[in-house]
Structure 1
């Protein structure tokens, strides 16, 4: 059994901060569950151009408001607490935060831990692992 506290994980290598967001990775590849689980904060006013070419992702909004735009068809979906969006086709999209948003995210395949977005808005498959276990 694995038990972790979000509050404690935020004090370790599991917390990754980048431009417009930060993410605490609670479950990673080295946990051998087949997916990773993160609590991610999108900062107010952030506009993230993303295209997870190597991963599928599900995102559940815990708090805050924003929108996600599917760049394949131009449809914009409002995001608010209780909304989930699922990137089941490696969808190229823009995530915009009207207010600070807290999101629960699941990635398949799982992340290693220290990944940040590359120039295409994707995570590489062979990221650097976190050092705490």
Structure 2
């Protein structure tokens, strides 16, 4: 059984910050669950482009309001507490926080290691292939 508190992650290497957001990475690949869980804050008034080419992501909003723009279709969806979106097609998207900081619970598959950074396209690198020796 894994039991963690957000306070254990804050200000550690698993607490990753940028100008527009911060990601508190709670469950990671090393935990062996087959997915990762992140508690993410998107700062009010910011706009970030993401494109998870190699991961699927489901995101559940628990605080704040904003919108997600699907750059494939141009469709914009409002986000508020209780909204979930899932990037089943690896959609490139823009996330905007418009009313307060948005707090999001994010689940990634395959799981993140915690050391990923976004490239110029807003993507993480492909997960490293594992070998069974």
Displacement of 1:125 in angstroms is 2.9
Question: What pairs with 1:1-133 in structure 2 (closer than 5 Å)?
Answer: 1-98=1-98, 99-126=100-127
Unaligned runs of 5+ in 2: 129-133
Unaligned runs of 5+ in 1: 128-133
- Counterpart of 2:67 in 1: which secondary structure? strand
Moved more, 36-45 or 116-125: 116-125
What TM-score, normalized to structure 2? 0.91
What TM-score, normalized to structure 1? 0.91
Computed over aligned residues only, the root mean square deviation of the Cα atoms, in angstroms, reads 1.1
The list of structure 1 runs, each at least 4 consecutive aligned residues, that deviate by more than 6 angstroms after superposition, is none
Mapped contact 1:45–1:96 kept (Cα < 8 A): yes
Displacement of 1:115 in angstroms is 1.5
1:18-46 residue CA offsets vs partner (Å, 9 max, x unmatched):
12000010000111111000000001111
Distance between the aligned counterparts of 2:62 and 2:118, measured in 1?
A: 22
